[in-house]
């Protein structure tokens, strides 16, 4: 997965707290097929919101302490942070229907400050 990072819990918390923009954390694993489907959508979101949103990709298998800390039960799992605080948790495996629509609604709810630019970002690529 492009741009995957490794963190200990303290380093992760420091990274999230110091982020100047909202952060989506994508927990994934190499064996996870759905993870490979979710990542291009996150890349589209990230590219459509340069300097307004950050996506961290974390291999759950290589970051076991973080996986345990956030009590991951399935992959992929997306965590949405704003100003260092966890504002939403999203498990695409539990989404029924269109993932893009569910992700759009989650972004609208979690990061309303991104709405003007972001509202058309995913819809344009559907």
> Kind and range of the H or E element at 3?
none
Q: Let me know if 32 is a catalytic residue.
A: yes
pLDDT given for residue 114 in this prediction: 65
Q: Which domain holds residue 74?
A: 4-125
pTM (two decimals): 0.79
Q: One of 1, 25, 32, 55 is an active-site residue; which one?
A: 32
Tens-digit pLDDT string for the chain (126 aa)? 666 777 888 989 999 999 998 899 999 999 999 898 888 888 888 888 878 888 999 999 999 999 999 999 999 999 999 889 998 888 877 776 666 777 777 677 767 766 554 444 455 444
- Out of 1, 23, 25, 35, the active site residue is 35
What phi and psi, each to the nearest 5 degrees, are found at residue 74?
-155, 160
Q: Is 68 a catalytic residue?
A: no
Question: 103, 58 in Cβ contact below 8 A?
Answer: no
- Please count the structural domains in the chain: 1
**CATH number assigned to the domain comprising residue 32:** 3.40.30.10
């Amino acid at each position: 997965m492009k741009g995957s990072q490794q963190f200990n819990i303290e380093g992760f918390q420091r990274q999230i707290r110091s982020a100047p923009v909202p952060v989506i954390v994508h927990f994934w694993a190499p064996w996870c097929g759905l993870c490979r489907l979710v990542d291009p959508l996150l890349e589209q979101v990230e590219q459509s919101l340069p300097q307004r949103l950050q996506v961290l990709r974390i291999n759950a298998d290589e970051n076991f302490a973080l996986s345990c800390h956030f009590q991951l039960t399935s992959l992929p799992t997306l965590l949405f942070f704003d100003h260092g605080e966890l504002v939403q948790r999203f498990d695409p495996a539990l989404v029924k229907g269109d993932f893009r629509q569910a992700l759009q609604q989650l972004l609208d709810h979690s990061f309303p400050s991104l709405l003007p630019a972001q509202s058309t970002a995913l819809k344009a690529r559907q």
